[in-house]
A and B are shown apart, each in its own frame.
Chain A
């Protein structure tokens, strides 16, 4: 069954006879997005602010039709594993245009916490298992084919499914290990920061030989990790060292029966499930715990009340579709925006805080809150071929509202960014609103930042802050936070982007 475009209950897809009705999209240019050029089966394009997928005539009549008719599509949609789509209509050349359910925000694997990457890996394996039972197979297992709807991962690439050919190994096996298993193993057994760092610098994942060199020797004693990381690394070295090295084709290596493939998937599943990481012992992961912040319980309550009040005011003035909470910690205040109906991305630099935020969002079944990793001193850049495959942080904005609670002092004092530049960056990130907290130098958190460095920040005063931000923002509301020396501002962008 194909879902309706407005996301209501699925209905039986009505076959659209070729050329029966004019396809409104056929008349419009549909240049592929910068990230959509590898798969000859189709590509993704944007029109009128929405994302569509064009399916080649060959795929529309072949693998796509098999996906829809085999029951696999219904199965995956029913299990919440695949992003639903509707068929817009055929084009004169026989290609088909699909309109997938629109995602509010696109994130990348190097912005995910440990459990987000792990859940995406398990989702991919489950989709492959279900595909095999319907005579199909995933032809790629890219982590970029997974997105999060709040706390729920979902496969977005409808055209990743192809007919299963009996005896052929899984063509996406290597990619799965590079995009999921290797970074997860490194995060679990070496350092949680290695996953995001390596995935950001290596867009096609972490090769087995690199992972095998970085992993501790004890991981060779874990049969599933040995089987899928250390052993393939050995194969790579042997094949690479052989005269004329290179990949042997299935016809040269022998066949892998369906049971064998299921055994490999089962072993991969065990490998992924065996990997754990517990967030503990970092500064931010315990920020709201005892000693982490100088707020009393009453002051924290007052701050929450004020933030909620400012957000409600902004939401009543203009619709808040997308909110970014920068320096969100575990998303405690982000949830206030999500509760107003805004898709809220809770960015933080600390893997432990993001992990905690994601686990809590998953426990609650949040669909409007997405915790993600981000180092604001060096935000996600444009990446990939022609710098067009993965968008930078700002390239995926602006948000309707940005929250910057207890953030400015870290950027201005911790990272030496002049207040004017902080204001300009936040203005590039937000289309309309900024909820920002001023933390004076008398505050214990600011004192802590200044404790072991020369104070070269004479302009770090509340007057200096207001003057620097006045270039981009006008003050809509300003309230001291009771019980603290801090002030909360609601600022409105002076120049509003279209």
Chain B
């Protein structure tokens, strides 16, 4: 199962910034999309960078282990 706690923490901070208030006027469905991305990017980029670095580290380690444990094609 994926650990979503870091994302939850990042998004929770954002949630406090956005007041959920019903508005009954006509809304352009695009309204707010760019602003949301700016805030989301700011909130998520830290978690994403850590996740990417961890993935690269795991891949490198696996690659290293794989090199050491790969069977020798000559059987030696």
Contacts and interface: CB of A to CB of B under 8 A. Distances in A.
A107 to B, nearest CB: 24
Nearest to A213: B22
A253 B39 CA distance: 9
A226 interface: yes
B35 A253 contact: yes
Nearest to B37: A169
Contacts of B29: 174, 178, 204, 207-209, 236
Contact of A257 (B25, B28, B45): B45
A241 interface: yes
Given A227-B11, A227-B40, A263-B48, A235 B32 contact: yes
Shortest 8 CB-CB distances between A and B: which pairs? A260-B41, A235-B32, A263-B48, A234-B18, A174-B33, A240-B27, A263-B44, A169-B37
A292 interface: no
A266 B51 contact: yes
Nearest to B46: A263
A213 to B, nearest CB: 9
Contact of B37 (A173, A224, A239, A249): A173
A266 B39 CA distance: 15
A238 B18 contact: yes
29 contacts: A169-B37, A169-B41, A209-B27, A224-B4, A224-B7, A233-B20, A235-B33, A236-B31, A237-B20, A238-B19, A240-B26, A240-B32, A246-B28, A247-B30, A248-B34, A248-B35, A253-B37, A259-B48, A259-B49, A260-B41, A263-B40, A263-B41, A263-B47, A263-B48, A263-B49, A264-B37, A264-B44, A266-B48, A267-B40
B36 interface: yes
A397 to B, nearest CB: 33
Contact of A231 (B34, B36, B45): B36
B45 to A, nearest CB: 5
Interface of B is mostly: helix
Nearest to B8: A223
Nearest to B2: A270
Interface string A252-277: 01111101111110110010001000
Interface of A: 169-170, 173-174, 178, 204, 207-209, 221-224, 226-228, 230-241, 245-250, 253-257, 259-264, 266-267, 270, 274
A256 B33 contact: no
Contacts of A253: 34-35, 37-38
A253 B38 CA distance: 7
A230 B36 CA distance: 11
B28 A223 contact: no
Contacts of A224: 4, 7
Given A221-B8, A261-B41, 5 more contacts: A236-B32, A247-B31, A247-B32, A247-B33, A262-B48
Contacts of B38: 169, 253-256
A221 B2 CA distance: 15
A233 to B, nearest CB: 8
Contact of A232 (B26, B36, B51): B36
B14 to A, nearest CB: 6
Contact of A235 (B18, B26, B42): B18
A223 B4 contact: yes
A170 B33 CA distance: 9
B23 interface: yes
Contact of B31 (A222, A245, A260, A270): A245
A330 B45 CA distance: 43
B46 to A, nearest CB: 8
